[in-house]
Chains A and B, each alone.
Chain A
Amino acid sequence: MINVTINDIKLKVPEGTTILDAAKMANINIPTLCHLNLHDIKMVNRTASCRVCLVEVEGRRNLAPACATECFEGMVIKTNTKRAIRARRTMVELLLSDHPTDCLVCEKNGNCDLQKIAADLGIRQIRFEGEQSTYEKDSSSGALYRNPDKCIMCRRCETMCNEVQTCSVYSAVDRGFETVVGPAFNLPMLDTQCTFCGQCVSVCPTAALTEVSYVQDVWNALHDPDKYVIVQTAPAIRVALGEEFGLKPGTIVTGKMVAALRRLGFKKVFDTDFAADVTIVEESKEFIDRLNGKGRLPILTSCCPSWVKFIEHQFPELLDIPSTCKSPHMMFGAIAKTYFAEKFNIPADKIVVVSVMPCIAKKYEIQREELKSDGVENVDYVITTREFAKMIREAGIDFTKLPDEDFDNPLGESTGASVIFGTTGGVIEAALRTAYEWVTGETLQDVEFHGVRGFEDGLKEATVKLKDMELKIGVAHGLGNARRLLEDIRDGKRFYHAIEIMACPGGCIDGGGQPYHHGNLEIVKARMNAIYEEDRRKPIRKSHENPAVIKLYQEYLGEYGGHKAHKILHTHYTPRETI
């Protein structure tokens, strides 16, 4: 421990503590912008590029960036001297001199760290008039929107993409005033190895990285009398949406969410969870077939389109191990435009399927050729939790005052197994609940598999006894962890029977389309707890017991994993190159 003094407060801190962290211990707030410490997923952005955290250190001529300067024994720090405050203001003014000032019409308005710091520091005018750099905007992927004009070169995106996701899409390109953070050869993002996980969007402090928005398209469809617009919501929405309306993180708002969707004008409000139950019966069937020698082990879950794109680029030699199941919302789209259309006598081409997702990758996924039927997309639009919240506000709905309402039938019925799809470990746990009963013929007494749960470990392992067999289960969340796992499998260093991978740290609850957490991962943990709470509340907690799913197979699909099920619910993968 070493002794430091901050603004006359004496305290002891462990060696290696930064001035910023020491100040926090003394309840002193130092403004920061580029700095980001996501301790739980082991990411720290230390570029120290913005210099808005400058403080005075006794005996040092220059001001020190608090986020990147370690304390030393006897250090005397002053955070609020005239000189420090002026320097911080100047740094922000310099940033603003090369930044568009169109906050009023900016998609990050009210959620932007740069805007907040300008307000916090009381900036009222920009003293420096600089040349504004302008770059090409990119929406090529239909998922991720890049507007480098708004980039402040903090390089959080690069740190996230390189270190946590190991996709290394971005680099600082060019030099001097022209420098920008961008992909190789200034390629459109669609032509890179980007997986569209959106984690860079989650940490970008400004609107330099956001999602491609489809709010207007959804409004247009809703107002088109010739269209029959239905909606599905992913499990992770109901535990995060409340945050957008000031509710405590982890508040479960399922009923209000359904009510809001109805008031927006959707003809039917359905649940992706229904399709997640379908995914589980299909995947469990496939798993058991593979256990019986039909196909290769391990089986990998395939619910996350970002992770699918990752394996296509990074491990094209392993494309025979992911399950061929489509992701749940794609299954939903396919079922809606066939079974539902026929059952309710609605022409499939009038049906517009909107997915409300925590995810940016799903915006890309719906455009994949092999997921279309005769060139028509099975899901027409994907909007994120954030976009959904915008629509609620735009429609003038007082969200917190809404009554609780129920999903429509039949594609709204779901089980606890499908709810937990929204968190890391959830898909494999749901599959275990079904596979266990199908293999053993016994009823599973305790449906909770705690070994696969949790946020802190990026790689989790568990062993489950299935009759006389010991099933080895692996779980990875965050693509860097997925890479480690896949390398070991490729090199024969580890063996598993089944693996679950989700691209986002924590799973979809921390998806790239969720309400911004601004670096506070406690919010994500609260969402995870809420997911398990919702599971416990459900009367049915196993996918194969979902009556609506059983009916779907009886009335329409036939056998689990049968011919028709394969045609509608399964897909294939494409090897891609690294770039």
Chain B
Amino acid sequence: MSDTMHETMNDRTPVIELKHVDKHFGSLHVLKDINLSVQKGEVVVIIGPSGSGKSTLCRTINRLETIDSGEILIEGTKMPQEGKELARLRAQIGMVFQSFNLFAHKTIIDNVILGPMDVLKKSKKEAKEEAMQLLSRVGVDSQANKVPAQLSGGQQQRVAIARALAMHPKAILFDEPTSALDPEMIGEVLDVMTKLAREGMTMLVVTHEMNFARRVASRVIFMDGGSIVEENTPEEFFNHPKSQRAQDFLNSIQAH
């Protein structure tokens, strides 16, 4: 990262910061006064029952959803409404989706180089070299010339992570990255994510994988009904949940 960018921000400027964010879908109040900040190198895990607004929260951060009020800052810069500046800031926040969302008509390597070439304006040669390194980092380099449909779900999701990494993002958002996977493939994706976290990547992860949260999270955020109900270290949250709603939620999960 360039030094000039750091001059304008001090060390405690969060990579991602949400201030009093509110959002409605029609009459549904889906995000209620959300305040959240993610520091550099932190892994923040968001958990909560289905429909509590976790995906919407993730999606507002790179403005796949607009917000009604409040503000969202990326390293202190306010997310703009539209246009070039928005695209530029978006490119700095990676996103990994539940359903992988690889480009179906492109080979694996071409999926990874699209952003670096079109957005970062890298040469094809440079983009390809780096893409191959990233693909081997996530363990799918041998699949580089196949198309997504020829890969397993776990492989596709690892490609999606490589595609996000290729943009050198300041943070990556993961929205239930393992929920669409067969159980035997969940581990391989969580392993890659764990490795990323250990290497210092700033991550915001929506997941139901409680073991991952326990082992990797710097902080756990519990959402319910569009609000952040509880925010704590993983040990505190899992061992001594403060709110009744968090206790009920943890019980309901452990019942499985």
Does A associate with B in a complex? no
